Amino acid sequence: IVQVDDFYLGGESKGGKRGRGTEQVPVVAGVSLKKGKPQYLFMDVVSDVGKRSVLDVLTKRIETGVILETDGWPTYASCAEELGAQSHLVTTSKDEKKNETFQWLDKAISNFKKFIDGTYHGRQTDDQLYMEEYTYRYNRRGFGHQLAERLLRACVAANLNNSMYSLKVGT
């Protein structure tokens, strides 16, 4: 199951619209679930939440044959069809179990916004890079002691590639 929703960056709008009518930066986010627990997260800045923009993100980030779970926004239904999703589950904001259904995605989005405020003090200069950093950390949160080993392997592999390259150049 992959849950997908959109949210907006840009702080409080005084007197402006909220949600999909706002002038703030739109973002498409998704989290994959396995046995009800979050596995991997993605977030991408988009120009708008229209079909073309959302479909570009979902095509890049989601495999075909997944179960897509979204709110009632029509764009997601048409994207699910084009993606070849196994099925498309819809939970609208009026549904009593909405908060329970999207708890992991909502929590990831909320924590990302706190990450921006805490780490970058609310400055928004490169939203996509901030999202990449956050999702990198999120997607590796369960690695624990494996992180150091993975880093060492990457360093050794990079060193081997560089030494092979220098041998080729010198011959």
The domain spans of the chain are: 2-139, 147-171
Q: What is the pLDDT of residue 170?
A: 44
In terms of Cα–Cα distance, which of 65, 77, 62 is closest to 30? 62
How confident is the model over 66-97, as pLDDT tens digits?
Answer: 999 998 888 999 999 888 888 898 888 788 88
CATH number of this structure's domain 2-139: 3.30.420.10
Indicate whether 169 pLDDT > 50.
no
Residue 31, token pair as written in the block: 């989290």
* Reduced 3-state DSSP string for the chain: CEEEEEEEECCCCCCCCCHHHCCCEEEEEEEEEECCEEEEEEEEECCCCCHHHHHHHHHHHCCCCCEEEECCCHHHHHHHHHHCCCEEEECCCCCCCHHHHCHHHHHHHHHHHHHHHHHHCCCCCCHHHHHHHHHHHHHCCCCCCHHHHHHHHHHHHHHHHHHHHHHHHHC
How confident is the model over 93-119, as pLDDT tens digits?
Answer: 788 888 888 999 999 999 999 998 888
